[in-house]
Copies of this chain bind each other. A is one copy, B any other.
Amino acid sequence: MRIVIVGLGVIGGSFGMALKNNGYKDVYGIDKDINTLKKAKDMGIIKEGYEDGRQILKSADFIIISIYPKLILNFIKENKDNFKEGAVITDATGIKEMFIDDIVKILPDGVDFIFGHPMAGREKKGIDYADDKVFNGANYIITPIERNKDENIELVENLVYDIGFKSVKKIGSKYHDEMIAFTSQLPHVIAVSLINSDEEGRDTGSFIGDSYRELTRIANINEELWSELFLGNRENLLRTIEKFDEELLKMKKAIEDNDKNILCELFKNATFRREQL
């Protein structure tokens, strides 16, 4: 099976490493940056790299697109005549509803797009931060659409298990985006808000323990990617922020009221839920 990775950033590069380390050999790369292609080839994760992917796409059985969400539709548009009959495409985008319909509209009949979401990543961007270990034991989500062939979904499923993911969940894209707003986007909103709420000029570093460090790790954030992801999932994200804010204000009120009982209840509920995870 010939695999082409489109976009060899931190995620595409990690896919490349994971494929290499699990015996996939016929792997090629497309990237707009020639240095990235060179690095990928030097690392041995692609056989060859292309700035212009038209030629290699024509022989690709499996295409992994890991470029910025907004660029994906355009990539499909530009290459719709370059895909091989029977080719399977997948992506790695954190939200789905935003573009599925638009992509399906222009996708050739003989090409199947299995929308996927590896629940793993890094704060940093670029191939230098690629690391296939982030996939180990992580969750993977597929959001099937009607026209997907079962065997193609299975192909993606098997491949991601192969490269280290521990669970593959198949769900509708609407539910996916709702859940992701809560489990992934809201934590990023919180981390950014937390670190931005620090007063300037304080020696905060001397007062942090594990908790602050953990809660702000993801505040080191790729602004281009995450603003696209946030705005592409606006309604869902706004709803989770509101629900979170309600809980925050509930706790604030308990503190204002010196109400130890309510505080303890909130803590017990949180502890119970955390242990369920």
Residues on A facing B (Cβ under 8 Å): 119-121, 138-139, 141, 167, 169, 176, 179-180, 182-184, 186-199, 202, 204-224, 226-227, 230-231, 234, 237-238, 240-252, 255-256, 258, 260, 263-264, 266-271, 273-277
Contact = CB atoms under 8 A, between A and B. Distances in A.
Contact of A206 (B169, B204, B264): B169
Nearest to A209: B119
Contact of A263 (B220, B231, B274): B231
A119 B208 contact: yes
A206 B139 contact: yes
Given A197-B240, A214-B214, A267 B226 contact: yes
A266 B196 contact: yes
Nearest to A269: B196
B248 A193 contact: yes
Nearest to A119: B209
B238 A270 contact: no
A196 B258 CA distance: 20
Contacts of A216: 270, 274, 277
A37 B40 CA distance: 58
B187 A211 contact: yes
A255 B213 CA distance: 26
A199 B252 CA distance: 20
B214 A215 contact: yes
B270 A255 contact: no
Contact of A271 (B167, B187, B223, B271): B223
A113 to B, nearest CB: 21
Contacts of A141: 206-207
A251 B249 CA distance: 17
A255 B176 CA distance: 19
A260 B231 contact: yes
A176 B203 CA distance: 11
B277 A204 contact: yes
A247 B197 CA distance: 6
Contact of A244 (B197, B234, B260, B275): B197
B277 A205 contact: yes
